Structure 1
Amino acid sequence: MSRSTTMTVRLSGALSDFVAANVGEDGSYENISEYVRDLIRRDKQRAEQESFDRLKAELTRAFATPEEAYKPLTASEVISRNRA
């Protein structure tokens, strides 16, 4: 189920001018709402990519670690370590 939220944003000065230059006949967007939605989508994609990159780096480090560096742990040891 899709949900819609109405938000009010106040911009002045250089920010308002910048948005105005990107919206309308000469801009890349038909209206301000379209512009803001695109900015939010891009920011969401950026945040998701950063999360993926952190996970990928962690997995790369883990797989690069020599096998002899690993030691067996019980489930309670892992739980205890993760609580700390």
Structure 2
Amino acid sequence: MTVRLSGVLSEFVAANVGDDGAYENVSEYVRDLIRRDKERAEQAAFDRLKAELTHAFAAPDSSYKPLTAADVIRRNQG
């Protein structure tokens, strides 16, 4: 994989790599950025699911209706 940076982005990366930076090399920096972005995306997905479940569990019991497995399969086929 090749990534080309110039100008301000290149300078920013250079400032974060090497003796004065937090990373030994550019590859380490890029891998860390990708890991952090992956964690952020996973956290956002978890937060959305948590919000949906919180909303669903806050509904009164009277809003639920019993379903059989066949009902669920039929509903998901259409």
User: Shift of residue 83 of structure 1?
Assistant: 4.1
Match of 1:36 in 2: 30
User: Where does 1:4-19 land on structure 2 (aligned, <5 Å)?
Assistant: 7-19=1-13
**What do the CA deviations read for 1:22-79 (whole angstroms, capped 9, x no partner)?**
1111111111011001101101110110111111111111110100001122323323
Give the Cα–Cα distance (whole angstroms) in 2 for the partners of residues 56 and 28 of structure 1. Answer: 34
Structure 2 length as normaliser, TM-score?
A: 0.87
Counterpart residue type for residue 63 of structure 1: F
Runs of 4+ in 1 over 6 A off after TM superposition: none
Corresponding residue of 1:56: 50
Identity of aligned residues (%): 77
Corresponding residue pairs, total: 78
Unaligned runs of 5+ in 1: 1-6
Instruction: Tell me the distance in 1 between the aligned counterparts of 2:76 and 2:36.
Output: 33
Query: Which residue is 2:65 aligned to?
Result: 71
What RMSD over aligned residues (CA atoms) do the two structures have, in Å? Answer: 1.4
